[in-house]
Chain A
Amino acid sequence: MTRLDKLWRAVEGPGAPPRLDSGRVKARVNAVLGAGPAERRIDMRKRFCFILAAAAALAIMGTAFAAAVDWNALSAHFQGDTSLGLAYLDSEVRSVRDQNYVFAVEGSAADESNVYLVVSVTAVSDEAKAFLFSDDFNSMDTFSAYATASDGGELWAMSLGYHELQSGLPHCRRFAVDIGLEHAISGGTVYVRCGYMEKGKRVEVPITPASSVTVKIAASGTGVLKLEAEPDPASAPLTIQEITLSPFTCQMKTACTSVNIYPNIRFRMTDGSIRTQSQMLSLNSGVHSLAWTRYISELQYQFHEIQDLNKISAVIVFDMEYPLNGSRPVPAEPDPALEPFTVTRLDPLEEGAGYSIPVRELTEKLGGTFRADGEQAVCTYRDVAVVLQAGSRTALVNDRAVELKQAPAMRDGVLAAPYEAFTDAWGISACVQREDGERINEREVQLIWHDWYIVP
């Protein structure tokens, strides 16, 4: 009996503490380790398909973002004009070397929740180069980051994500790396290493976080759904405790009886305009913990573009505007045009692709304009014109060519397109909602797919 069993018994918990059979874990681990290098590589490839997908997405975007080779820690992570963040950019190159590689942190920027880096790995031998450019280089352990815990004690390993950038050099690969500062760190230093180098070879990156503003909210209202079709958001009020903004991120502390309900805030800019959460933010991470019957969540969103906080006057949460300067909140004008709505789900445009979206229905429900000329459509919303042509994977967004994953096509007289054609261009969120249906067998449940759920 473990001590946890004893505690469980002392507090008279139901049955026994949930635990896993270590034999099953051993079987999984030994199956991978005993499977031979080729099979293990496949396993790793599966896990990192999202990284490769992100790299592929960058490669086909055809935007200035992908065309630039001269990355810095801001342009590698944020869209648009990144000059606003130059005050927070540390451009000093720091590197370590062993007999195979030079690992360099070429620049960094940080706030209190995230560190953004551009790193490069340069091979110093032909053998090292062959591995550097092989599929095996991308794994869970390619890069890691550590920091000294706030109590001054042990080194904490921190969560880390990365995607590849264009290098333009024959012996070098470059990556955009973001590190989550889940644990308070001391000493203002993060240690970053490449897992294929000698032990002890690590780069010390000093951290000077960009300042942030926290707005206490402590209000409840109706949130929006994410992926799951249930529950009805009105039936599970969402409480937003506080919102912290930095030039790079927006963090929200929330509480709700459902983990499927998310905040949908808006921003009042100093010029009086309103920008929505979908226009400004993308969800980066969420940590949920259960306290009694409610999930306490810490949600971290990243701004699409670096923000000048002096140009945001307030956050609009539910029906109130909360000024960033700490003054009293005032009632906000409701805007029905910004409420979520649904759009008909259409079949995929290609085998293996996701569901497609009806172009006209989406545009008109958003309140935009739709004009069709044969198999070409011009859709305009938020002053951004998207021109689509049935059969062509190239779309025009305000006259700029953008490659789509699939070509739009006519479906029963309706022009259907991949949803990505609109989400970036118009700053909207879109997902096809699902719910569990009948059980197929012990492990599988039938999934019922609903219509598109759009958050303007």
Chain B
Amino acid sequence: MNEATLARKLSQGSRLALNQAIDAYTPYLTTVVWHTVGPTASAEDVEEIISDVFLALWSHRANLCPELGLKSWLAAAARNKAIDRLRAAPPAHLPLDEASEAGSVTPEEDLEQRMFAAVLRQAVEDLPPPDGQLVFRYYYEEEKLKDIAKDLGLSVPAAKSRLLRARRKLKEVLTRGGLANDTVG
């Protein structure tokens, strides 16, 4: 189901569409919220913020514009709710006390992954234009490459080539910072 169809179903009051939206957008909103509240926020806090975003989506369903899709609305709502959370209670401690739900990841590993995610996101933002936007929209927002390329004034092969170079650059940058597992550039 594409974004516009999902938005239309939601505006008609479909709870099934809401559940499909949660499945489809939770991974994306996780990166948005964690980026805003910082990697030390607990998984439970992030989960709560994202739940609030979908509750707000449900409250707003009658006012959705299907032609605008859902992603930008959800991202803006997630940022706002995350900022509201920061205002109310800034993340104050490293949540080494936060036990992994899955049980297969230790709290230290969990924190390491979140810290790495924050550094990776920063490194993506620090890429020179248009590579930062290209990488972000392709890997984080999962937009179609041809759409991104068109917006950025690139051919699809050129965009692919830039993505490849950007990945190499990111690995190099992250390795230099001692954060990637690889010690070779």
Residues of A within 8 A of B (CB): 2-4, 6-8, 10-22, 24-26, 28-30, 32-33, 47, 50, 139-141, 154, 156-161, 180, 182, 195, 199, 226-228, 259-260, 284-292, 295, 436, 439, 442-443, 445
Given A154-B72, A259-B92, A11-B38 contact (CB < 8 Å): no
B177 within 8 A of A: yes
A17 to chain B, nearest CB (A): 6
B27 within 8 A of A: yes
**B58:A29 contact, CB within 8 angstroms:** yes
Top-8 shortest CB links A-B: A157-B76, A22-B26, A28-B51, A290-B118, A7-B139, A159-B80, A12-B182, A11-B171
> Which of B54, B60, B181 is the one whose CB lies under 8 Å from A141?
B60
B102 to chain A, nearest CB (A): 8
> Which of B62, B76, B180 is the one whose CB lies under 8 Å from A199?
B62
* CA gap between A160 and B83 in the complex, in Å: 10
**B56:A285 contact, CB within 8 angstroms:** no
Could you say which residues of chain B place their CB within 8 Å of the CB of A439?
A: 97
* CA gap between A445 and B36 in the complex, in Å: 25
**B83:A182 contact, CB within 8 angstroms:** yes
Interface size on B, residues (CB 8 A): 77
Given A154-B72, A259-B90, A21-B117 contact (CB < 8 Å): no
**B119:A291 contact, CB within 8 angstroms:** yes
Given A11-B180, A259-B40, A17-B167 contact (CB < 8 Å): no
**A3:B38 contact, CB within 8 angstroms:** no
B107 to chain A, nearest CB (A): 10
**A287:B167 contact, CB within 8 angstroms:** no
Name the interface residues of B151-173: CB closer than 8 Å to any CB of A: 167, 170-171
* CA gap between A22 and B109 in the complex, in Å: 21
Given A2-B27, A157-B76, A289-B38, A18-B114 contact (CB < 8 Å): yes
B47 within 8 A of A: yes
Could you say which residues of chain B place their CB within 8 Å of the CB of A292?
A: 119, 122, 177
Could you say which residues of chain A place their CB within 8 Å of the CB of B17?
A: none
**A285:B34 contact, CB within 8 angstroms:** no
Could you say which residues of chain A place their CB within 8 Å of the CB of B114?
A: 18
Measured CB to CB, the nearest residue on chain B to A16 is B113
B147 within 8 A of A: no
B115 within 8 A of A: yes
B2 within 8 A of A: no
Measured CB to CB, the nearest residue on chain A to B115 is A290
**B30:A290 contact, CB within 8 angstroms:** no
> Which of A28, A30, A33, A160 is the one whose CB lies under 8 Å from B47?
A28
B121-144 vs A, CB cutoff 8 Å, 1 = contact: the mask equals 010000000000001001110100
* CA gap between A139 and B48 in the complex, in Å: 16
**B93:A21 contact, CB within 8 angstroms:** no
Given A18-B110, A20-B30, A158-B62 contact (CB < 8 Å): no
